Structure 1
Amino acid sequence: MRGLIRLCLMTLLAGAGWAQAASQVLVVGLFPGAAVLNVDGQRKLVRVGQTGPGGVQVVSADSKGAVLRVDGVERLYPLSREPSEGFAAPGKRSLSVAKGVGGHYWVAGSANGQPVQFLVDTGATSVALNETHARRLGIDYRSVGTPLQVNTAGGVVRGWRVNLSSVKLGDLEVLGVEAVVLEGGAPGEALLGMSFLSRVGWRVEQDVLVLESKF
Structure 2
Amino acid sequence: MAPWGARRVALAVALAFGGGVMPLTALAQSVAMTGGMGSKALLVVNGGAPKALAAGDTYQGVKVLSVSADQAAVEVAGKRQTVHLGEAPVSIGGSGGGANGTQIVLSAVSGGHFVTQGQVNGKSTSFMVDTGATSVAMGADEARRMGIKFEDGAKFYGSTANGTVVGYRVSLTSVRIQDVEVFNVEAAVLPMPMPHILLGNSFLTRFQMKRDNDTLTLTKRY
* CA distance 1:63–1:189, shift in 2 (3 Å): same
- Cα displacement (A) at 1:65: 6.2
* CA distance 1:208–1:155, shift in 2 (3 Å): farther
User: Aligned partners of 2:34, 2:196: CA distance in 1, in Å?
Assistant: 24
Asked if 1:66 corresponds to 2:48, the answer is yes
Asked if 1:194 corresponds to 2:201, the answer is yes
**Which residue of the partner structure matches residue 213 of structure 2?**
206
Task: Please give the secondary structure, in 2, of the residue aligned with 1:196.
Answer: helix
What value does the CA root-mean-square deviation take over the aligned residues? Answer: 3.0
| Structure 2 gap segments, 5+ residues each | 1-19, 23-29, 37-41, 51-58, 62-99
The code of the aligned residue for 2:220 comes to: S
User: Aligned partners of 2:148, 2:101: CA distance in 1, in Å?
Assistant: 31
Contact 1:65 1:77 in 2 (8 A): no
TM-score of the aligned structures, taking structure 1 as reference length: 0.59
Q: Given the alignment, which residue of 170, 176, 184 partners 1:168?
A: 176
Contact 1:92 1:214 in 2 (8 A): no
Contact 1:128 1:182 in 2 (8 A): yes
The code of the aligned residue for 1:159 comes to: G
* CA distance 1:201–1:136, shift in 2 (3 Å): same
- Cα displacement (A) at 1:197: 0.3
* CA distance 1:64–1:160, shift in 2 (3 Å): same
- Cα displacement (A) at 1:156: 2.3
Q: Percent identity?
A: 36
The higher radius of gyration belongs to 1
**Which residue of the partner structure matches residue 101 of structure 1?**
110
* CA distance 1:181–1:107, shift in 2 (3 Å): same
Higher helix fraction (1 or 2): 1
* CA distance 1:109–1:148, shift in 2 (3 Å): same
1:10-53 CA-to-partner distances (Å, cap 9, x unmatched) read: xxxxxxxxxxxxxxxx666753229xxxxxxxxxxxxx9xxxxx
User: Aligned partners of 2:21, 2:220: CA distance in 1, in Å?
Assistant: 19
TM-score of the aligned structures, taking structure 2 as reference length: 0.58
Asked if 1:125 corresponds to 2:134, the answer is yes
Contact 2:108 2:214 in 1 (8 A): yes
* CA distance 1:172–1:153, shift in 2 (3 Å): farther
1:134-191 CA-to-partner distances (Å, cap 9, x unmatched) read: 101101111x210110233543210000000000111211100000001232x33211
Contact 2:45 2:60 in 1 (8 A): no
Q: How many residues are matched?
A: 148
- Cα displacement (A) at 1:206: 1.6
The code of the aligned residue for 1:93 comes to: T
User: Aligned partners of 2:21, 2:178: CA distance in 1, in Å?
Assistant: 17
| Structure 1 gap segments, 5+ residues each | 1-25, 35-47, 49-59, 69-75, 79-90
**Which residue of the partner structure matches residue 32 of structure 1?**
33
Of the two structures, which has the highest relative contact order with CA contacts closer than 8 Å and spacing of 6 or more? 2
